[in-house]
Amino acid sequence: MHLVARRAADFGVEIEGNVRFNLPTAMRRKDAIVGGIVNGIYSALDRRKEAIDFVRGEARFVNEHEIDTGDRRISFGKAIIAVGARNATPPIDGLADVDYLTNRTALQLSALPGRLVIIGGGYIGIEFAQMYARFGTQVTLLGRNRHLAPGEDSDLSDLLADYLREEGMVVHTSAPVVRVRQNGSEKTVTARVDGQETDFVCNAMLVAAGRVGNTDTLGLAQAGVESGAQGFVTVDAGLQSSQPHIWAIGDVKGGLMFTHVATYDGPLAALNAVKGLGRTVDYRVVPRAIFSSPTLAAVGLTEVQAREAGYEIKVGTVSADGGRSKAIGDTRGRLKAVVKADDGEILGFHILAPHGDDLLHEAVTAMYDHGGIDRIAKSIHVHPTLSELVKSAARAAR
């Protein structure tokens, strides 16, 4: 919004006076949107109160068929664990003695930090870095891995890192943090950058380096439910835990930690728990997106992953510079289609472009039933739309 206001003159919109960003107002708007969603959930639960008893409390297993909620015990035939995950506390020297933000608290600030250092170059780090930089904070983003957004196509994530730098952020990759210190409200983050220990001084620090399951107070052992590293519940392909009458869904099982995976898991686990249907999850086609600008969105295998898996592939790469992107004033980005060389089946699709999160679903639906690249390459797309970029990438992969 702020960026658009500053660029308004390019579009012939003249603004007299200064354009300012008001954080408390933005936070109130966010809270109102979230509040509306929460109220909708309570209304839906209220309509089902005959069938669903909503209980306020923290569950702790006391045995295989009972939990303690703090003020009473509840017995159950079967259970579904859906307690989610939270930010990990990485083993960084001094972290325990420093005040730092998490993805939760960083959305509850009442004043903009002047200088913010973000530890972690994954999706949370990237999204918060760009958001606060656009609000007006000086942001430094420190990623431990060679590329931002590890696991995504590195050509695209490197390009995104360049865009973040062009917007004024300091971005370092291959930059593990070795220690943090606090003196008053001032914090110093020391990272190894190009082999040299380098200090980054800031007044706010966000730690977004890994996730852990929210199972530490759940008493999994009392219920005979096994968990692995970082407190994630171990499940089979039917989302069943080591205890046959207990299932786990969403982030708490680790792996693909997306809301849309949790939403997919929920009904499937319920079918298995209530009806014993023995359904198994199919995670072959799980789309993902980093809500940066431009958006980095992807589904399926990257070029590197497809080659490692032994596929002979064709890759179609195009720039995101098209008619519509020129019109909206953002031509940054690149799209990449990865297809099987012999029959053109789509193995992966990677989009760094405005609205890449929405654009991706053409490839998602095609991949769902093993569709070939011609579905996208040969079908007529509306002109002028960003979807023409998806078609161009598909044509380049034929």
Partner 1 sequence: MNYDYDLLVIDAGQGGLPAAHMAANLGAKVALIERDEVGGT
Binding site for partner 1 (CB under 8 A): 34, 37-38, 41-42, 44-45, 48, 51-59, 65, 67, 69, 74-84, 86, 103-104, 214, 218, 249-251, 259, 262-263, 265-267, 269-271, 273-275
CB of 365 to partner 1, least distance (A): 21
Comparison of 151 and 219: residue with beta carbon closer to partner 1? 219
Comparison of 203 and 234: residue with beta carbon closer to partner 1? 234
Question: How many whole angstroms separate alpha carbon 4 and alpha carbon 394?
Answer: 31
CB of 45 to partner 1, least distance (A): 7
Comparison of 58 and 282: residue with beta carbon closer to partner 1? 58
CB of 236 to partner 1, least distance (A): 17
CB of 189 to partner 1, least distance (A): 25
CB 290 within 8 A of CB 149: yes
Q: Closest by alpha carbon to 235, among 193, 273, 209?
A: 273
Comparison of 15 and 55: residue with beta carbon closer to partner 1? 55
Question: How many whole angstroms separate alpha carbon 330 and alpha carbon 165?
Answer: 16
Which phi and psi (to 5°) does residue 160 adopt? -65, -40
Question: How many whole angstroms separate alpha carbon 71 and alpha carbon 83?
Answer: 20
Comparison of 133 and 268: residue with beta carbon closer to partner 1? 268
**Contacts of residue 44, Cβ cutoff 8 Å, sequence gap at least 6:** none
Q: What is the DSSP-derived secondary structure letter of residue 221?
A: H
Comparison of 54 and 283: residue with beta carbon closer to partner 1? 54
CB of 196 to partner 1, least distance (A): 36
CB of 84 to partner 1, least distance (A): 5
Q: Would you state the structure tokens that stand for residue 375, as one six-digit string?
A: 């579905």
One-letter amino acid identity for 389? L
Question: How many whole angstroms separate alpha carbon 215 and alpha carbon 67?
Answer: 14
Q: Closest by alpha carbon to 296, among 339, 241, 354?
A: 354
State the Cα angle at 213 between 178 and 350, rounded to 5°.
75
Q: Which residues of 274-286 are buried (b: 16+ CB within 10 A; e: fewer)?
A: eeeeebebeeebb
CB of 294 to partner 1, least distance (A): 25
CB of 63 to partner 1, least distance (A): 12
Comparison of 154 and 227: residue with beta carbon closer to partner 1? 227
CB of 218 to partner 1, least distance (A): 7
Residue 353, beta-bridge partner list: 295
Which residue is it, tokens 């196509």? 153
Comparison of 78 and 179: residue with beta carbon closer to partner 1? 78
Q: What is the DSSP-derived secondary structure letter of residue 21?
A: -
Comparison of 35 and 323: residue with beta carbon closer to partner 1? 35
**Contacts of residue 158, Cβ cutoff 8 Å, sequence gap at least 6:** 147, 148
